[in-house]
Amino acid sequence: MNRREVLGLLGMIAALPSPALAQQPTRRLGVLSVTAADDAIGQTRSVILVEALAAHGWKEHGNLRVDWRSGAGDRARIAGLADELIALEPDILLAVGTPSVEELRRRTATIPIVFAVVTDPVSQGFVQTLAHPGGNITGFTDYDGPLAGKWLEMLTQVTPKVSRVFVVYNPATAPFAPLMLRTIEDAARTLHVTVETAPVHDAASIAALASRKDGGLLILPDFFTMANRAHLLAAIAEARVPAVFWSRTFVDEGGLMSYSTDSAEQLRRAAGYIDRILKGAQAADLPVQNPTKFELAVNLKAAKALGVTIPPSLLATANDVIE
């Protein structure tokens, strides 16, 4: 072989992809969310997740296949979709919302699960501790202890003054409610407010909220309240009482006030954990993290319709004011 042939062969070898640069096998991510796929929240979260994963080098339809499943607030449907995802044998799972984690953890103790928008994962048995999750589950919570007290405080700041507050949630879908109720009741003693629970579980019980005209309403985090937010907002509008919500989505759609964690930020951070686990990290070694960003939203149009005044001090701290 002469020099020209040797150089030509070396050039051909150099043009071949090295093992390090060769096409990596496509990885598979299963996503189970409690919201509906065509819901504005679900669509927004999907976009945020795809963008966040891409920032870490994981491209949907490229080196990452994403299997999307959305439960639309239906617990039986969420369970069936969990079966579907496990059958696909994904490399990793993302569970958005408490019911999603519950159903997936019942079906696998080996596939890593990263969660987001979940309250109190320790008491619910998802992880051993926040610092040391153990097992195959870790993620990002949507609740920090003082949050519930802040919701109550906001209601006491409006004019006319609220001295009685009804706490709205579905006991069947919000197992973490007692944790929040303890904080609310502690704050109520300091704020001199009477607190009562107002459980809801179907359209009739939501409609009955329209008769609660002698106090304010505090809506707890719950996929049931989110899925039924249109009915909740209608009943509250009929009651003409101030209400504070756990998600700014309610305020965007006509509710009065919300103080909430940033679920978009949780999904971005979850994408970071997904990246680390796909690259070899163990879920058991990644600490569960509490929220770091909070946002206050106020709807002045709703305040005017209800005949209440939001104090300037509260408006000054709002991240978003809808006029």
Helix (H) or strand (E) holding 33: strand 27-33
Coil, helix or strand for 32?
strand
Percentage of the chain modeled with pLDDT above 70:
92
Q: How do strand 92-96 and strand 27-33 relate by DSSP bridges?
A: parallel
The confidence score (pLDDT) of residue 175 equals 84
Compute the mean pLDDT over every residue in the chain, rounded to the nearest whole number. Answer: 90
The Cα 109–Cα 101 span in angstroms is 12
Write out pLDDT tens, residues 114-154: 999 999 899 899 999 999 999 999 999 998 878 899 999 99
Tokens matching residue 112: 């890593």
The Cα 101–Cα 69 span in angstroms is 13
Nearest C-alpha neighbor of 206 from the set 187, 178, 225, 185: 225
Q: How do strand 113-118 and strand 137-141 relate by DSSP bridges?
A: parallel
Write out pLDDT tens, residues 2-42: 544 544 444 444 444 444 434 568 999 999 998 776 677 77
Write out pLDDT tens, residues 182-227: 999 999 999 999 999 999 999 999 999 999 999 999 999 988 898 8
The Cα 220–Cα 117 span in angstroms is 13
Where are the strands (E) in 91-159, listed by range?
92-96, 113-118, 137-141
Count the residues in the chain: 323
